[in-house]
Amino acid sequence: MKSSLIYLLFITVNIQAQTEPSWKVVKKKNGITVSMASVDNSKFKSIRVQGIFDGTILKLINIISDMNKAPEWVYKTKTASVLKRVTPYEFFYYTETSMPWPVSNRDAIIHLTMSPDTAHHVLRINAFSEPNFIEKKDGLVRIPFSKASWYVTESNNKLNIDYTFQVNPGGSLPVWLVNMMADKGPYESFSKLMMKLKE
């Protein structure tokens, strides 16, 4: 019995070691750390952003909920709008991302849920692409897959944010080009988010 438990523990630890991404820091500036990691079954790198920001969970929720203003802080966002609001903490939204010529702009439909735990000053956010939620638009490439998660804790009007993101941008973009530029968008977005949290 004891040997079986030891074996089970070994297998569990081994699986966790295989599935946990091996993050490599690619940018660290102004209190924002951006890391990248290879992930199973994807040619594209996963992104992680970590940092401590001035602000409150309530302020962050208000910023994220106001999708019409997403172009003010989300990198290269041309337009964004809520398609369906299920609850104050759950909605579907549409976003179009500008790409340099001659690459076609990307669009996506995202299902976002926020789970605030006010008793423990914790906020969890999950966002998954729903590419078939509305019909595709001419001249745009629909992003077939993306997922993002936020783990946020608040203490003394400071937010400790841990954000991870994966995307397949669709179309024929070179993988090496996407991975090479993958740190720029998250860093720029969180730099602007940092300023908006102070407003």
CATH of the domain at 141: 3.30.530.20
Q: How confident is the model at residue 39 (pLDDT cuts 50, 70, 90)?
A: confident
The verdict on residue 10 lying in a domain is: no
The verdict on residue 9 lying in a domain is: no
Question: How large is the average pLDDT for residues 48-70?
Answer: 97
Report residue 81 as tokens.
């709008």
* Residue 134 clears pLDDT 80, i.e. is over it: yes
Identify any residues that bridge with 15 across adjacent strands, giving them in sequence order. Answer: none
The verdict on residue 82 lying in a domain is: yes
Q: Mean pLDDT of all residues in the chain?
A: 88
Predicted pLDDT at 100: 80
Predicted pLDDT at 170: 86
The verdict on residue 112 lying in a domain is: yes
In this structure, the chain runs to a length of: 199
* Residue 40 clears pLDDT 90, i.e. is over it: no
Instruction: Read off the pLDDT of residues 153-197 as tens digits, 9 standing for 90 and up.
Output: 999 999 999 999 998 888 877 666 666 667 788 999 999 999 999
CA gap 47, 63 in Å, rounded: 21
- 35, 48 in Cβ contact below 8 A? yes
The verdict on residue 6 lying in a domain is: no
The verdict on residue 16 lying in a domain is: no
CA gap 43, 37 in Å, rounded: 11
| Burial zone of 17 (CB within 10 Å; 0-12 exposed, 13-18 middle, 19+ buried) | exposed
Range of the domain at 138: 23-198
The verdict on residue 98 lying in a domain is: yes
Looking at the structure of the chain, the number of domains it has is: 1
The verdict on residue 107 lying in a domain is: yes
Instruction: Read off the pLDDT of residues 97-118 as tens digits, 9 standing for 90 and up.
Output: 998 878 889 999 999 999 999 8
Q: Following DSSP, what letter does each residue of the chain receive, concatenated?
A: -HHHHHHHHHHHHHHHHHHS---EEEEEETTEEEEEE--TT-SSPEEEEEEEEES-HHHHHHHHH-GGGGGGTSTTEEEEEEEEEEETTEEEEEEEE---TTSPPEEEEEEEEEEEETTTTEEEEEEEE-TTSS---TT-EEP-EEEEEEEEEEETTEEEEEEEEEEE--TT--HHHHHHHTTHHHHHHHHHHHHHHH-
Low-confidence winner among 4-8, 26-30, 96-100 (lowest mean pLDDT): 4-8
18 vs 76, residue with greater confidence: 76
